[in-house]
Structure 1
């Protein structure tokens, strides 16, 4: 390398010709992002309700805030609340319908071949019937 008699680099000569190594970007997988999101949603947050302090998961605290804002008239919060309500209602209805289909299929099998049905199968059908939401109204 070109240095002068004072030990300095000559003009136009770089002291670090290879340069500084580039910083490698942090690679985060989709699975890691998903896991971090759900872990953060379960973080306990202190809230005050009726003068008492209690710890609730962050996702629950966010839902409570959304409902409070919607009740106070915030239009964006009302729209978001209605979207969530429709989505959760639809998911609940789909679950109830799939349980009803399974019960109907099981009862058909019991009626068609009663000798092939075990007591355990009948017990599972009874548990499935008990898991149905009695207040669920199909549109």
Structure 2
């Protein structure tokens, strides 16, 4: 028996992020989506990873938001749950930023973050019955 309630999305995109990802993907043939993950590194402990994916892996969590397909690496789900990805541009810099409720701190340069796993009840909501 399957659950009738919809599963929550692991991540969402702002309009600016969706527009920028779509613009870049339009220039890259054979790309099926943007793969997101986290890895150990940096002075705060973890770093976000982003790569263009030519194929979807069997265990990727697929998020489709505003016409963009995100492929979330399985081990990153617990750290990215509830995250909003944005694209910001100002006079001195531009780039993607992550508004992540699981982020406890960040280094001064903004390249690495300290992330805690999402609460167990929030992770349980992702499970398909």
Same fold? TM cut 0.5? no
TM-score range, shorter chain: under 0.3
TM-score by length of 1: 0.18
Which of these two proteins has the greater Rg computed from alpha carbons?
A: 1
TM-score by length of 2: 0.19
